Structure 1
Amino acid sequence: MRSSRRALLVGLVVSAGLGLSACGFSPMYGGAGVNSALSDIQVETGREQVDFHLQEALLDRMGARHAVGPYTLRTESETTRAALGVGTDAAVSRYAIGLTVDYGLFRDGDVEPVVSGSVETEASYNVPQSVYASVAAERDATERAAQLAAERIANQLVRALRDADTQ
């Protein structure tokens, strides 16, 4: 009984895969596709702490730690901090870190970007009683916002490069 279910499941998966490939479907993150082109893009960010977190997250997400290709991704970021919650003692108990990143993908020697865009992210944190814990919580929220921004930028680059390849 189990082997027949397993065989049916395998048959469904194989037929779905054949059906998708017949309609022109290609996975965004597949092997040597467009996503591998991200590993040749150099990354330049600003000098603030959030920029460091953004650069590290982009390099990890794109696999571009040793990039030597003809493209450079340049980013400009802006952070905001907004109070979200007020406790019974009228002190702010929760903050949100907002991060806006404008980016451009430049070919070496070009002034105009090949691809440009902007992403906005937000991460929140509770304010603990300890000063050290509060600083650590804010840093963690900043890092999470940067990681989310890197994920969105990489996804937008993959889509833009994929669309450029199909035209």
Structure 2
Amino acid sequence: MTRHLALSALALAATPLLGGCGLHPLYAGGAAGPVAKSLAEVEVAPIEGKAGWLVGNALRDRLGATGTPRYRLTVRLDDQISGLGVRGDDSITRERRILRARYQLTDLSDNRMLLDATAGSDAGIDVVQSEYATIAAENSALERLAKIVADEIVTSVAITARNRAKTPGTGQ
């Protein structure tokens, strides 16, 4: 009992130290905050292919663009499926789907590139005897990967927006 009490007292005493850890909310101020306002000013350029359509829609949903764009987000995707597991008869039993994105954020006022980065994720797919089931699994994997990649991109853009808002002379 005294050990539990001592640990509780130690945790309570350490609580004020957490304020100095350097962590700050990314979306401080909510929808009126500088990061949310910057994200709403991002235009997503068209992205080729089915994966591009999925990633583009996910990005637009997460960015919530409204009004006149101030920034342009250009994304190029690389979507690959490769066989992993092989049976004795050389048929594939497992696939790996990899979705990678290279993206660039450009300030439209002066065409200056603010961000040039990559994001990506992968998923494993069981290959079963039903071709329909395998195709459905590949499509489901692509839908999940598109959301994951879009989340990574939006997080990176939000961090860039926060850093620009904190830096004097960036026009924020």
TM-score over 0.5 (shorter chain): yes
Aligned to 1:145: 145
Partners in 2 of 1:33 and 1:26 — Cα distance? 13
Partners in 2 of 1:142 and 1:23 — Cα distance? 38
Shift of 1:52: 0.4
Aligned to 1:5: none
1:75 alignment partner, SS class: strand
Aligned to 1:29: 27
Q: Is the CA contact (8 Å cut-off) linking 1:42 and 1:67 kept in structure 2?
A: no
1:63-111, CA deviations, whole angstroms, 9 ceiling, x for partnerless residues? 23x4532111111111121222224554211111111211111222644
Structure 1 residues 79 and 23, CA gap change in structure 2 (3 angstroms): closer
Shift of 1:33: 2.8
Shift of 1:119: 1.2
Aligned to 2:130: 130
Structure 1 residues 131 and 161, CA gap change in structure 2 (3 angstroms): same
What are the within-5 Å matches in structure 2 for residues 1-167 of structure 1? 25-30=23-28, 31=30, 32-36=32-36, 37-64=38-65, 66=66, 68-87=68-87, 89-108=89-108, 110-167=110-167
1:111-146, CA deviations, whole angstroms, 9 ceiling, x for partnerless residues? 442222111211221122222222111111112111
Runs (5+) with no aligned partner, structure 1: 1-11
Partners in 1 of 2:133 and 2:35 — Cα distance? 38
1:114 alignment partner, SS class: strand
1:164 alignment partner, SS class: helix
Superposition TM-score, scaled by structure 1 size:
0.77
RMSD of the alignment, in Å?
2.6
Percent identity for Structure 1 against Structure 2: 29
Superposition TM-score, scaled by structure 2 size:
0.75
Shift of 1:19: 6.8
Q: Count residues in correspondence.
A: 155
Q: Is the CA contact (8 Å cut-off) linking 2:70 and 2:109 kept in structure 1?
A: no
